[in-house]
C-alpha cells in the first residue's frame, strides 16, 4: 500500500486545495492530510478565518482524503512519516525545496498549484470589502474632493 502525506492550513477552502489533494491522492492508495492547528498557525504568524475544528472537518469530508490529523509543529513530519508508513510526502510547488530533508525518509514531490486562486488572494479580496477599509477609502475620497474644490 502506497501512503501519501501532505500538510496545510486549508483556510478558506477553495478549488486549488481540492485539486491539489485530488492529485496527491491519485499518487497512491491512501492520502493522509495534516491540518495546521490554530495554535501552530499562530506560531507561524498566520491568522485563520476558519477555526481548526471546522477546517479539519472539511478536509475529513473529502472523498480523496482517507485520514486527517492535526499538525501541531514543524518537527512532527518525520514521526508522522514513520508512524503511518508514508511512501510519498507531497506539497504544492510554492514549497519547492523546503522539505527536501524528508527525502531521507520517503519520496518528496512538489505539485503545481492551481493558477489564479489562493487563500491569500481571497483574504486580500475580503479586506477590500471590509467595512474599515471602505471607510478609509471614503475618507481618502473626501480628502481628494476637498483638494479639488480648492482649485475650482
Q: What are the φ/ψ torsions at residue 87 (nearest 5 degrees)?
A: -95, -40
Over 60: is that where the pLDDT of 122 sits? no
Measured from the Cβ of residue 117, the count of other Cβ atoms closer than 10 Å reads 14
**pLDDT above 70 for 113:** yes
- Average pLDDT (18-43) is 96
What does the block give as the cell for 47? Answer: 491568522
Residue with cell 480523496: 64
Give the pLDDT confidence score for residue 146 in this predicted structure: 78
Span 50-72, pLDDT tens digits: 899 999 999 999 999 999 999 99
CA–CA distances in Å: residue 131 to residues 12, 126, 127: 19, 10, 8
Q: How many residues does the chain have?
A: 152
> Given the C-alpha cell 524528508, which residue does it identify?
102
CA–CA dist 145, 137 (Å, integer): 12
Given a cut of 90, whether residue 48 has pLDDT beyond it is: no
* Residue 102: Cβ within 10 Å count: 17
Q: pTM (2 decimals)? A: 0.78
Q: What is the pLDDT of residue 13?
A: 86
What is the gyration radius of the CA atoms in the chain, in angstroms? 20
102 closest CA partner among 79, 72, 84, 83 = 79
Q: In this predicted model, which residue has the larger pLDDT, 134 or 141?
A: 141
Burial of 37 (0-12, 13-18, 19+ CB in 10 A): buried
**Which pLDDT score, from 0 to 100, does residue 125 have?**
60
Catalytic residue IDs: 44, 46
Amino acid at each position: 500500500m502506497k501512503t501519501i502525506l501532505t500538510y496545510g492550513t486549508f483556510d478558506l477552502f477553495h478549488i486549488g486545495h481540492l485539486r491539489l489533494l485530488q492529485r496527491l491522492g491519485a499518487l497512491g492508495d491512501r492520502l493522509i492530510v495534516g491540518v495546521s492547528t490554530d495554535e501552530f498557525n499562530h506560531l507561524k504568524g498566520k491568522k485563520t478565518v476558519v477555526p481548526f475544528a471546522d477546517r479539519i472537518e472539511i478536509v475529513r469530508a473529502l472523498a480523496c482524503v482517507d485520514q486527517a490529523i492535526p499538525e501541531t509543529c514543524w518537527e512532527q513530519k518525520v514521526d508522522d512519516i514513520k508512524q503511518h508508513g508514508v511512501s510519498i510526502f507531497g506539497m504544492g510547488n510554492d514549497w519547492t525545496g523546503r522539505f527536501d530533508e524528508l527525502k531521507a525518509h520517503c519520496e518528496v514531490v512538489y505539485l503545481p498549484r492551481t493558477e489564479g486562486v489562493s487563500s491569500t488572494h481571497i483574504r486580500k479580496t475580503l479586506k477590500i470589502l471590509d467595512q474599515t477599509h471602505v471607510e478609509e477609502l471614503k475618507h481618502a475620497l473626501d480628502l481628494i474632493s476637498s483638494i479639488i474644490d480648492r482649485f475650482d
